[in-house]
Amino acid sequence: MKNKNNYDYLLSDLTKLNGVGKKTMEILKKKKVNTIFDLLWRLPKSYTDRTLVSKICDLLVDKIQTIRIVPLKYQFPRVRNLPSRVNCEDESGKIDCIFFHSYEGYVRKILPLNQEVTISGKITSYKGRYQITNPTYVSQDSSLIETVHNKYSLTEGITEKNYNKIINQILKNLPILNEWHDKEILNKFENESWNAAIVKLHDPTNIENYKASFYKRLAYDEILASFLVNSEIRKKIKKIKKTSKKFTESSHNEIVNKLNFKLTKDQNKSLIDINNDLNSNSKMFRLLQGDVGSGKTIVALISALSVVRSNFQVALMAPTEILARQHYTLAKKLFPENISIELLSSKSDNIDKKRIINDLKTNKVKMVFGTHAIFQKKIIFANLGYIIIDEQHKFGVRQRKLLSDKGGDNCDVLLMSATPIPRTLTMSVYGDMDISIIREKPNNRKEIKTYSKLESKIDDVIKFVKKEIDEESQVFWVCPLIEESKKLDHQSAVKKYEFLNKIFPNKVALLHGKIENEEKEKILNKFLNKEYSILVSTTIIEVGIDFPNANVIIIENANKFGLSQLHQLRGRVGRGDKQASCILMFKSNLSVNAKKRINILKNSNDGFEISEEDMKLRGFGDLLGFKQSGAKNFKLADPIQNEDLFILAEKQIRKIELENISIKKYKSLLKLYDQADIINDIV
């Protein structure tokens, strides 16, 4: 009997199902199937058509076929472990049914003598006679077998027959849920109900029918669920009342007047957005998203000085100590001398650490720079009013919510990211925040010239590097692997370091993930101080380091990287006023997609444009920053195939917000799609 609105059945554990014991449940849990609802998204990959009934004389060996036979004689073994055999026939020939590990009583029950039985399974041949071993389906009711059976990606220990039984049991008992969409939305999906759409999703004739209304309706459901949660978090943060920051344009001009370039339109617009938030009585929770080298840090520091001028403290957190130090050094140059700013680093001696911690507590230090350590429990701020997080792409929705709560009601939060993502993903990944985007590059920043080069032309590359080093430029040389691999034909960082060190003795450093953090910092600092001319590295340099003197980056096996990652790596150079170059090295046997990626990169320096192309070529799951963001991969929805659904969901969210529609209307949707735990106090 179906229960109206009983989504609890769908969210219950698998023991509620007939035929699912402890062993089967453990097998499914290994595949991250914990509830009945989870099982609905293990979609059929193909199917077996058992509707065609064959005669024995027409059977094909090694094919799954369905036949109607009459059992004539049992042959039960006297020796243990030998199979049972049942001689059977139809009007056209003979076949033996073979059973391993089956009791005599069971065989007699399912194959009663002289009665017609329908069986289905793989046909084999032994000594010129057809046989079928442990048939998948056996029944005197042919209608139970002569149908189309789904094939799923099974785990070892669950048969196709049992899996189909479990799925069919769920589909039969699907609770009838109240519709959460209005008529206007449902009309776009031919009025498909959630229940009917789920049943069609498991219909074997609908496998991979991505354009069907039932499929789109279910994909839209999960997009909307994700957007609703983000919207609700954004609304909750907006409701938090705080003391507004009071400041004038003078603090803004204190920094701008020291710059040797003009702010871009996007930088100025972002500052207006941030200043409006800081001046308001609602808490700011904003993302400042900008391409590599677009000047986000300047915007953040200008706003930080304004907050300091309004008698609040500021904390800026960076992913690495070296980046925190660079931000601190820049602030030292730009901030007035009478404002106390500090760097809290693991390298600081204990006396300095104690002094800084005490000065933060007594409001003597107005701004502190550091890594995540600046938010340790022992560090107490007198009046923290602004948190800035650089390179935040590793934070997901839950982590960001916790971060926002940590600062208290009076604390505004600005997150910065240099990872451009396609528009269809913006609401999914960052929908819980207000967003400011910097697309323009500063006028003094020259576009990086990008070249592609066959690896056989390494001598030409070495000549170019020598010339650059003679002109006192520095070089990044990026390799995919740390050590040589027999399986992968990539250049290794270690081997390349040894090769280059012979050509440029004592001028080459090596950096990779296996080096301890403290040693990494030393190497990077030496490179920053021009003690080395070349830094051979894996991709760990792709985010968060600014080396103004590095003007060349060489990327080995460039075809093995995604477009977004190549663009991030390329952004490590060209931070000064010299012309920078990026050389993409590759083998001759490039795939069509690899050629496309390299050509796109050679023709564009726009990270947003590149991320759109990257998603089209590789799929959204592989985009740089998306996996790290903590955002869940959708079960059905795809930002490329379902761009229209993402846009539709975005419009619907705006309507819900504008008309102040209660989130309770979508209670079932949020519960089902495992989103309610984030906002469990509002549904």
Kindly tell me if the per-residue pLDDT of 616 is higher than 80.
no
Tokens for 680? 């469990």
In this predicted structure, which of 55-59, 319-323, 434-438 has the lowest mean pLDDT? 319-323
Q: Model confidence at 667, in pLDDT bands (50, 70, 90)?
A: confident
Q: Model confidence at 394, in pLDDT bands (50, 70, 90)?
A: low
Query: Which residues are within 8 A (CB) of 235 and not within 5 positions of it... i.e. 6 or more apart?
Result: 657
Residue 432 or residue 9, greater confidence: 9
pLDDT value of position 683: 44
- Convert the pLDDT of each residue in 99-150 to its tens digit: 988 889 999 999 999 999 999 999 999 988 999 999 988 988 888 787 777 7
In this predicted structure, which of 154-163, 370-379, 466-475 has the lowest mean pLDDT? 154-163
Choose among 551, 552, 493: nearest CA to 523.
493
Q: What is the pLDDT of the chain when averaged over all its residues?
A: 84
pLDDT value of position 191: 94
- Tally DSSP H helices, then E strands, for the chain: 23, 22
Average pLDDT over residues 419-423: 74
Q: Work out whether the CA dihedral 256, 258, 259, 260 comes out positive or negative.
A: positive
Residue 553 CA to residue 55 CA, distance in Å, equals 69
Average pLDDT over residues 64-82: 91
Q: Model confidence at 624, in pLDDT bands (50, 70, 90)?
A: very low
Same fold, 242-438 and 449-604: yes
Choose among 338, 228, 242, 336: nearest CA to 283.
242
DSSP characters over 581-609: EEEEEE-S---HHHHHHHHHHHH---HHH
Partners of 416 in beta bridges: 288
Average pLDDT over residues 68-88: 92
What is the pTM assigned to this prediction?
0.71
Kindly tell me if the per-residue pLDDT of 159 is higher than 90.
no
Contacts 24+ apart (CB under 8 A), 597-604: 597/559, 597/561, 597/562, 597/563, 597/566, 598/452, 598/558, 598/559, 600/563, 601/450, 601/563, 601/566, 601/567, 601/570, 602/450, 602/451, 602/452
pLDDT value of position 554: 93
User: Helices (DSSP H) in 36-102: which residue ranges?
Assistant: 36-39
Q: Residue 77 phi/psi, 5° resolution?
A: -75, 145
Residue 217 CA to residue 93 CA, distance in Å, equals 50
DSSP characters over 321-384: HHHHHHHHHHHHHHS-TTS-EEEE-TTS-HHHHHHHHHHHHTT---EEEESGGGG-TT---SSE
User: CB-based burial of residue 667 (10 Å sphere; 0-12 exposed, 13-18 middle, 19+ buried)?
Assistant: middle
* 8 A C-beta contact, residue 233 and residue 670: no
Q: Residue 49 phi/psi, 5° resolution?
A: -90, 110
Residue 563 CA to residue 605 CA, distance in Å, equals 11
**Maximum mean pLDDT: which of 47-56, 267-276, 550-559:** 267-276
Residue 95 CA to residue 70 CA, distance in Å, equals 10
Choose among 642, 556, 623: nearest CA to 211.
642
Task: Choose which CATH entry (3.40.50.880, 3.40.50.300, 2.60.120.20, 1.10.10.10) describes domain 242-438.
Answer: 3.40.50.300
Number of other CB atoms surrounding residue 566 within 10 Å: 28
Average pLDDT over residues 466-495: 75
The H-or-E segment that residue 84 falls in is strand 84-90
Identify residue 90 by its one-letter amino acid code.
Answer: D
Q: What percent of the chain has pLDDT over 90?
A: 34
Kindly tell me if the per-residue pLDDT of 300 is higher than 50.
yes
Average pLDDT over residues 402-417: 78
pLDDT value of position 195: 92
pLDDT value of position 155: 65
Tell the CATH superfamily of the 449-604 domain.
P-loop containing nucleotide triphosphate hydrolases (3.40.50.300)
Residue 366 CA to residue 362 CA, distance in Å, equals 10
- Convert the pLDDT of each residue in 305-361 to its tens digit: 999 999 999 999 888 787 888 899 899 999 998 999 999 987 778 888 899 999 999
* 8 A C-beta contact, residue 84 and residue 76: yes
Choose among 69, 61, 62, 51: nearest CA to 149.
51
- Convert the pLDDT of each residue in 669-678 to its tens digit: 888 886 555 5
Tokens for 611? 């991320």
- Convert the pLDDT of each residue in 523-539 to its tens digit: 888 888 889 999 998 87
Query: Which residues are within 8 A (CB) of 99 and not within 5 positions of it... i.e. 6 or more apart?
Result: 83, 84, 85, 86, 107, 133, 134
Residue 182 CA to residue 673 CA, distance in Å, equals 19
Q: Model confidence at 621, in pLDDT bands (50, 70, 90)?
A: very low
Residue 290 or residue 189, greater confidence: 189
Identify residue 188 by its one-letter amino acid code.
Answer: K
Kindly tell me if the per-residue pLDDT of 285 is higher than 80.
yes
Kindly tell me if the per-residue pLDDT of 517 is higher than 80.
no
- Convert the pLDDT of each residue in 221-233 to its tens digit: 999 998 898 888 8
* 8 A C-beta contact, residue 358 and residue 382: no
Residue 177 CA to residue 60 CA, distance in Å, equals 46
* 8 A C-beta contact, residue 282 and residue 333: no
Q: Which class is domain 51-146?
A: mainly beta
Average pLDDT over residues 476-496: 68
* 8 A C-beta contact, residue 228 and residue 653: yes
User: CB-based burial of residue 315 (10 Å sphere; 0-12 exposed, 13-18 middle, 19+ buried)?
Assistant: buried
Convert 301-310 to b/e letters by CB count within 10 Å (16 or more is b).
Answer: bbbbbbbbbb
* 8 A C-beta contact, residue 167 and residue 3: no
Q: Model confidence at 406, in pLDDT bands (50, 70, 90)?
A: low
How many residues are present in the chain? Answer: 683
Q: Model confidence at 94, in pLDDT bands (50, 70, 90)?
A: very high
Residue 18 CA to residue 170 CA, distance in Å, equals 10
pLDDT value of position 248: 80
Choose among 8, 18, 149: nearest CA to 667.
8
Kindly tell me if the per-residue pLDDT of 460 is higher than 50.
yes
Kindly tell me if the per-residue pLDDT of 680 is higher than 70.
no
pLDDT value of position 619: 57
Distances in whole angstroms, Cα of residue 626 to Cα of each of 223, 291, 421, 633: 16, 16, 8, 9
Identify residue 411 by its one-letter amino acid code.
Answer: C
Structural domain boundaries in the chain: 51-146, 242-438, 449-604
pLDDT value of position 625: 43
pLDDT value of position 2: 52
pLDDT value of position 615: 75
Q: Model confidence at 443, in pLDDT bands (50, 70, 90)?
A: confident
Partners of 437 in beta bridges: 289
Partners of 137 in beta bridges: 120
Residue 65 or residue 49, greater confidence: 65
Q: Model confidence at 178, in pLDDT bands (50, 70, 90)?
A: confident
- Convert the pLDDT of each residue in 579-597 to its tens digit: 889 999 988 777 787 788 8
pLDDT value of position 398: 62
Average pLDDT over residues 236-259: 84
Q: Report, in angstroms and rounded to the nearest whole number, the Rg of the chain calculated over CA atoms.
A: 32
Q: In what order do the strands lie in the sheet with 474-478?
A: 449-454, 581-586, 550-555, 474-478, 534-537, 508-511
pLDDT value of position 623: 44
Choose among 643, 646, 679: nearest CA to 664.
679
Q: Model confidence at 393, in pLDDT bands (50, 70, 90)?
A: low
Kindly tell me if the per-residue pLDDT of 627 is higher than 50.
no
Average pLDDT over residues 425-446: 79
Contacts 24+ apart (CB under 8 A), 378-385: 379/344, 381/313, 381/315, 382/313, 383/311, 383/312, 383/313, 383/410, 384/312, 384/313, 384/314, 384/315, 384/408, 384/410, 384/411, 385/245, 385/307, 385/310, 385/312, 385/313, 385/314, 385/410, 385/411, 385/412
pLDDT value of position 1: 43
In this predicted structure, which of 321-325, 446-450, 538-542, 630-634 has the lowest mean pLDDT? 630-634
